[in-house]
Amino acid sequence: MALDWKTKDGRAVLRRLVENAQVLVENFRPGVLERAGLGPEVLHEWNPDLVIVRISGYVQTGPRASWPGFGRAGEAMSGLAHMTDYADGAPMPPGFPAADSTTGLMAAYGAMMALHAVQNGSARGQVVELAIFEPLLRLIDYHVPTRTGTGVRVDQNGLQAPNSYAPAGVFRARDGKWVTISAGSAATWRRLLEAAGGKEWAGQPQFQSLDGFAEHMDEIVDRLGAFVAQHDAQTVIDIFQAHDAVAAMVYDVDDILADPQIAARGDIVGVDGDDTKVVGPVPKLDKTPGRLRWLGRSELGADSRAVLQELGYNAGQIDNLTENGTVAEPDR
């Protein structure tokens, strides 16, 4: 729906929308809704149970509240960009809008918790507020306690695990494909070493303690890299699987589209009459699964009339709203 909510008629439509809604999401710069006379106190007067989700660069309070902010700024402020790339390289943002995507996910999570509070009677409508940097700051999680609890900085570490606490890396196989290898405990570390170097090497004294692993990490990484380089990627995967060790091929998008596990999960979906495919709903619910209905509306206001009809407006009223510019419809 396309609505000019700053006009008198538009404000009346917005009020009816709010009165019939459970959640309102806004991502204006702080103060925009308040200056329009639509702050949370007004919205909750219209609908006391409304959950208001507010997303902005730095939220409504604090010394940076008025600053503009986008995903790149959030990836920088969270520490993510600093932790990515080699030690002597420039900080590297991820190859997708990580801050935007994770903020959307965490906003949905917050909205559902607030809705649950409404439904179980523990609270009425409330405001869920997120700065664009906060979800990544929370999801990275370990860099703050590592620094404050141990005094160790979490810095760029190339293709290895953070701070080289565990054997890990990304290595190029003989056929040019890349394989990532990791281990999460002493037992899995030794299985990994056995897969790459045999039982004799894995059983050496220096690999029987966590300190020994850390002290000999360069040797381990070099040996893993040499092992992977001697084989095709699928052979590497098969050998590690046989040793119950973890290795995975680094997929490009064509690998994703061809993978049988992804296909079995039904993770790539589309709609009839369109060759474009997208990633389907995740997570999957067994009783109320999500479904794909369309790939996005190409015309502004494609559903304006349908939404207004659901709100109780008749055809004449809708025509008036479109003719005076309050509501937009395609080709109007």
pLDDT in tens, 34-90: 999 999 999 999 999 999 999 999 998 888 888 888 888 999 999 888 888 878 888
Domain 162-250 = CATH 3.30.1490.100: no
DSSP 3-state of 220 = helix
pLDDT of residue 122: 93
| pLDDT per residue rounded down to tens, the chain (332 residues) | 999 999 999 999 999 999 999 999 999 999 999 999 999 999 999 999 999 999 999 998 888 888 888 888 999 999 888 888 878 888 888 888 999 999 999 999 999 999 999 999 999 999 999 999 999 999 998 888 888 998 888 887 776 666 666 677 899 999 999 999 887 777 787 888 888 888 888 788 877 766 766 777 888 888 889 999 999 999 999 999 999 988 999 999 999 999 999 999 999 999 998 999 999 999 999 999 999 998 988 788 999 999 999 999 999 999 999 999 999 998 75
How many beta carbons lie within 10 A of that of residue 173, not counting itself?
A: 21
Q: In one letter, which amino acid is 330? A: P
Q: Looking at the annotation, which residues are catalytic? A: 100
Q: Cβ contacts of residue 67 below 8 Å, gap of 6+? A: 57, 58
Domain residue limits, the chain = 162-250
Strand pairing of 278-279 and 268-269? antiparallel
Residues 251 and 170: their CA atoms lie apart, in Å, by 12
Q: What average pLDDT is seen over the chain?
A: 90
